[in-house]
Amino acid sequence: MKKGQTEIIGLLVIVVLLIFIIILFVTLRTKPQEKAIGRESAYTASLLTAILKATPCERTDTIPARPVSIEEIIRRGIPRQSTCGNGEARQEYLAKELQIIKGRVNTNQKVNLQILIKNTQNPQDIILVGNSCLGEKTVERRIITGSSSGQQERFEMVLEYCTT
Amino acid sequence: MRYSEVRGKAKYSKKGQIGLIEMIMVIFIVTVLIVVGIVFYTGVLKQSIQKKGGEILSQKAEVELRAIQGMPEIECSKNVRREDCIDTLKLLIAKEVIDGEEKGYYATIFGRKRVLVKQVYPELQGQVENQECTQEKYNQEVYPNNCDTWIIYESRPATITEVNKISVPVSLYFPNAAEDRKNEYRIGELIIESYR
Amino acid sequence: MKEKRGIAPVFQYIFVAIAGIIILSFFVQSALRQSNISKEVGNIQTVNALEDNLRALEVATNANKEIQLAAKQGITVNKPVCGVLRVENSPQIRTQEAIFSNTELKADKLKVWTVSWEYPYRIMNFFFLADGQTEYIVQGTGRLAEELVGIQRQGEPCCDNFEFIPKIFNVKTNSYTPQSGQVKKYVFINQEPTVAPAPTAEVLKIQTDGEKCDEQGNREDSECTGVVTFYKEEGQETTVFFGKAMLYGSIFAKDKKSYDCSLEAAFERMEKVTKVYEKRAEKLFAKDMQDQLSPNPTYLRIKESLHTLITTLENKKIKVRQLTQADLQEIAQQKEIIQNLNEVLRSEGKGQVF
């Protein structure tokens, strides 16, 4: 009996050791991923700056013709004589260009991007490209003041970034 | 010798043999378990170190992405003031200086990497995708609509086991000599491919 | 007949004891080896993290930070040769950064300040490191002395371009009575030192050219030039600085040898960046020639001036440890020419070189 007991204890020790090793292995395998939040913030800030600076067209009422930036179009509207679109309204033109930009910049299926430009004084004057982010997201905002029709206007441009 | 004595000896001898075999088997199994444990532990440790190495490489690449964006060799500088964009004229020069004459100096800064900038907006017409912008392309009247890629630096190791690629959108500045007000801005991506 | 009953108990105990000692020593050795490896890995991680922190700060025009280390560790900068960084006994890391500090630091919280060096265009960031063991005592009656410690005069325009040594560095003024025990660095601005160098007292004299370093508010950092003297028990050593950032560097550098290391790194980088601008001027001229009937000759002039500066820098780099005021004047004059030519381009509405 004593010998039998000793053998059983010995077996138990081995089994316990094995279980311990397996637990260690499982613990090491399933270490959670850390979120790189700083990276997303830098990405959105850089993208917003790049969008506002981009000059997709030029005004032809000056000699020589001068490039017009997206920020300028938001501030002052499309110049009367320009290569900006085919006579569309500012809203329509910007929506089209922002859609193209979003498509070219965001080629990763796992990333969702939304660009929003809203006139804080006129809720109807809004441009929205992309789907809103549900859950955790990184947001970058810029305020742009201008006057396209003689009146002071205030726009807020918002860029939302999240991983799906 | 009596039969019972012989039988007793045989009994003890068999018991001894069984005992010896038992002991050998136990030692063998324990040794196998220990070896398996060591191999297992080493494997897990190696995996963990490789993963850590990958994470460190990734972290370093992100730090470098921001640092490269702000390098005076490629960053916009207008009237001495810094501007948040990349000067495409400097990108052309970077090929001659950073990836050319002064490569030895910049190798200590960049290491084993490929650093490039690619225009993403506006979309270029024709067979321009992945065309490298060179001095020749720059001299053509259609520039910058004839190319979309600037390679700043490239240094590949003999064998590549891992490539870590990250990028960030950037504003691309196209300076105009004749008329300062005619400067154009486009959107691009600064891409770093780190090699291991 | 005697019955064989296996091995005698004594021998069993001996066998077990020997086996036990062998197994125990194996595990103890492994544990010790693991511990040493851990320490080494820790040091390597720290030096890499330090390098990453410096690179991350590189994009700032003026920023400071306290970097928390895992434990109080020894950090070696520019020792035994220029351009190397090391934590305890980690492998050396080669760096192209210009780091002004003591050659040996010991801290669990490393204080870092970075300032962009422009001469006249942005060239690189300078880094100033300290471990908190040194008190900096600035002595001088002029505005520069006040500005360095952050004293704002009444009625003066505030805050625009008002640059001072960050508070984390323990900078004191004239009236301060130094505490015993800490290493003190006395910085005399435009006056003769009144303290003799000693093992716990470092002495530095900064003589500025005119009042170009003094103006609070609107002024060019690159205009600030002068001569720096490091006082040691065995004598004194003189060198120059050009640009406000370099003036700060002289305050944090341990001695002339350490200062010269960073000066060399600065010259090296200045040469590379100037080459980029030289080629930029060349390309702008070529493009101007393509577009216009009469291309602007200023581009060619500025290209030539930049080329002259490159040659000057190459020559000065060789004698960086013996720079004199005459060398400083030469570089300053060339910088002035380049700056004026760039300004001409701006006034003509042309694309500037920088």
pLDDT digits (tens, 9 = 90+) for A36-70: 556 788 899 999 999 999 999 998 888 778 899 99
Residue C229 binned pLDDT confidence (cut-offs 50, 70, 90) = very high
Task: Supply the mean pLDDT for chain A.
Answer: 84
Average pLDDT over residues C151-171: 69
User: Which residues, in sequence order, are CB contacts of C246 under 8 Å at separation 6+?
Assistant: C117, C126, C263, C266
- CB B175, CB B143: distance < 8 Å: no
Q: Is residue B46 part of a domain?
A: no
Would you call B40 and A56 a contact, using CB atoms and an 8 Å cutoff? no
User: What is the helix (H) or strand (E) element at residue C17, kind and residue range?
Assistant: helix C9-57
Task: Tell me how far apart the alpha carbons of residues B68 and B74 are, in angstroms, rounded to a whole number.
Answer: 8
Identify which of B67, B75, B89 has the shortest CB distance to residue C283: B89
Q: Is residue A96 part of a domain?
A: yes
Phi, psi of C321 (to 5 degrees): -85, -5
| Position with higher pLDDT, C279 vs C199 | C279
Residues 172-201 in C contacting B (C-alpha not used; CB under 8 Å): none
pLDDT surpassing 90 at residue B155: yes
Number of domains in chain A: 1
Q: Which chain C residue is nearest to residue B76, measuring alpha carbons?
A: C354
Residue B178 binned pLDDT confidence (cut-offs 50, 70, 90) = low
Spell out which chain B residues touch chain C, with contact meaning CB-CB distance below 8 angstroms. Answer: 12, 16, 19, 56, 59-60, 63-64, 66-67, 69-70, 72-73, 75, 77-80, 82, 89-90, 92-94, 96-97, 101-102, 105-106, 108-109, 138-139, 141, 175-181, 183
Q: Is residue B23 part of a domain?
A: no
| Position with higher pLDDT, C210 vs B179 | C210
List of chains touching B (3+ CB pairs within 8 A):
A, C
| Three-class SS state of C178 | coil
* Alpha-carbon dihedral C137, C143, C149, C153, rounded to 10 degrees: 140
Q: Is residue B12 part of a domain?
A: no
| Three-class SS state of C75 | strand
Query: Structural domain of residue B87, as residue ranges?
Result: 70-195
- CB C288, CB C296: distance < 8 Å: yes
- pTM for the full predicted model: 0.83
Residue percentage of chain C with pLDDT more than 90: 38
The region of weakest confidence among A29-38, B35-44, B162-171 is A29-38
- CB C105, CB C78: distance < 8 Å: no
Give the best residue of B93, B170, B183, B185 to mutate against chain C (max C CB count within 10 A): B93
- The single-letter code of the amino acid at C201 is A
Greatest mean pLDDT range, B129-133, C154-158, C182-186: B129-133
- Residues from chain C contacting residue B11 (CB–CB below 8 Å): none
Enumerate the β-bridge partners of residue C94: C84
Q: Is residue A29 part of a domain?
A: no
- The single-letter code of the amino acid at C214 is D
Task: Supply the mean pLDDT for chain B.
Answer: 86
- CB C197, CB C190: distance < 8 Å: no
Q: Is residue A120 part of a domain?
A: yes
Task: Tell me how far apart the alpha carbons of residues C162 and C160 are, in angstroms, rounded to a whole number.
Answer: 5
Residue A35 binned pLDDT confidence (cut-offs 50, 70, 90) = very low
Residue C4 binned pLDDT confidence (cut-offs 50, 70, 90) = low
Chain B contact for C266 (CB, 8 A cutoff): no
Task: Supply the pLDDT for residue C219.
Answer: 54
Task: Tell me how far apart the alpha carbons of residues C99 and C126 are, in angstroms, rounded to a whole number.
Answer: 6
Per-residue pLDDT of B75-89, as tens digits, reads 998 777 788 899 999
* Alpha-carbon dihedral A7, A8, A10, A16, rounded to 10 degrees: 170
- CB C254, CB C102: distance < 8 Å: yes
Per-residue pLDDT of B46-86, as tens digits, reads 888 888 777 777 778 888 898 999 999 999 987 777 888 99
Residue C204 binned pLDDT confidence (cut-offs 50, 70, 90) = very high
Q: Is residue A110 part of a domain?
A: yes
Average pLDDT over residues C168-185: 76
pLDDT surpassing 70 at residue C293: no
- Residues from chain B contacting residue A42 (CB–CB below 8 Å): 65-66, 168
Distance from CA of B89 to the nearest CA of C (A): 7
* CA–CA distances in Å: residue B60 to residues A57, B193, C51, C105, C334: 38, 12, 9, 24, 38
* Alpha-carbon dihedral C346, B70, B109, C271, rounded to 10 degrees: 20
Residue percentage of chain B with pLDDT more than 90: 41
Q: Is residue A101 part of a domain?
A: yes
- What ipTM was assigned to the predicted interfaces of this complex? 0.81
Task: Tell me how far apart the alpha carbons of residues B16 and B19 are, in angstroms, rounded to a whole number.
Answer: 5
pLDDT surpassing 60 at residue B107: yes
- CB C329, CB C268: distance < 8 Å: no
**Three-class HEC string of A1-51:** CHHHHHHHHHHHHHHHHHHHHHHHHHHHHCCCCCCCHHHHHHHHHHHHHHH
Task: Supply the pLDDT for residue A34.
Answer: 46
| Position with higher pLDDT, C148 vs A35 | C148
Task: Supply the mean pLDDT for chain C.
Answer: 86
Q: Is residue A2 part of a domain?
A: no
List of chains touching A (3+ CB pairs within 8 A):
B
Spell out which chain B residues touch chain A, with contact meaning CB-CB distance below 8 angstroms. Answer: 26, 29-30, 33, 37, 40, 44, 47-48, 62, 65-66, 69, 84-85, 120-123, 168-172, 179, 181-189
pLDDT surpassing 60 at residue C216: no
Nearest Cα residue to C80 out of C98, C92, C72, C96: C92
pLDDT surpassing 90 at residue C266: yes
Task: Supply the pLDDT for residue C49.
Answer: 86
Per-residue pLDDT of A2-21, as tens digits, reads 777 788 888 888 888 788 77
Nearest Cα residue to B3 out of A39, B72, B11: B11
Task: Supply the pLDDT for residue A28.
Answer: 61
Task: Tell me how far apart the alpha carbons of residues B59 and C331 are, in angstroms, rounded to a whole number.
Answer: 39
Number of domains in chain B: 1
Task: Supply the pLDDT for residue C157.
Answer: 58
DSSP assignment of B24-56 equals HHHHHHHHHHHHHHHHHHHHHHHHHHHHHHHHH
Chain B contact for A14 (CB, 8 A cutoff): yes
DSSP assignment of B57-104 equals HHHHHHHHHHHHHT-TTTEEEETTEEEEEEEHHHHHHHHHIIIIITHH
| Position with higher pLDDT, C337 vs C70 | C337
Long-range contacts of C44-48 (CB under 8 A, 24+ apart): C44/C87, C44/C90, C44/C91, C45/B56, C46/C70, C46/C73, C46/C87, C46/C90, C47/C85, C47/C86, C47/C87, C47/C90, C47/C91, C47/C93, C48/B56, C48/B60, C48/C93
Query: Structural domain of residue A64, as residue ranges?
Result: 35-163
pLDDT surpassing 60 at residue B1: no
Task: Tell me how far apart the alpha carbons of residues C5 and B16 are, in angstroms, rounded to a whole number.
Answer: 8
pLDDT surpassing 80 at residue C118: yes
CA angle, C278 as apex, C212 and C301 as ends, to 5°? 75
Task: Supply the pLDDT for residue A33.
Answer: 47
Task: Tell me how far apart the alpha carbons of residues A23 and C333 are, in angstroms, rounded to a whole number.
Answer: 72
Q: Which two tokens stand for residue C234?
A: 């065995």
| Position with higher pLDDT, C1 vs A43 | A43
Q: Is residue B104 part of a domain?
A: yes
Distance from CA of B191 to the nearest CA of A (A): 12
- CB C116, CB C298: distance < 8 Å: no
Chain B contact for C16 (CB, 8 A cutoff): no
| Position with higher pLDDT, B86 vs A106 | B86
- CB B12, CB C2: distance < 8 Å: no
pLDDT surpassing 70 at residue C178: no
Would you call A56 and B184 a contact, using CB atoms and an 8 Å cutoff? no
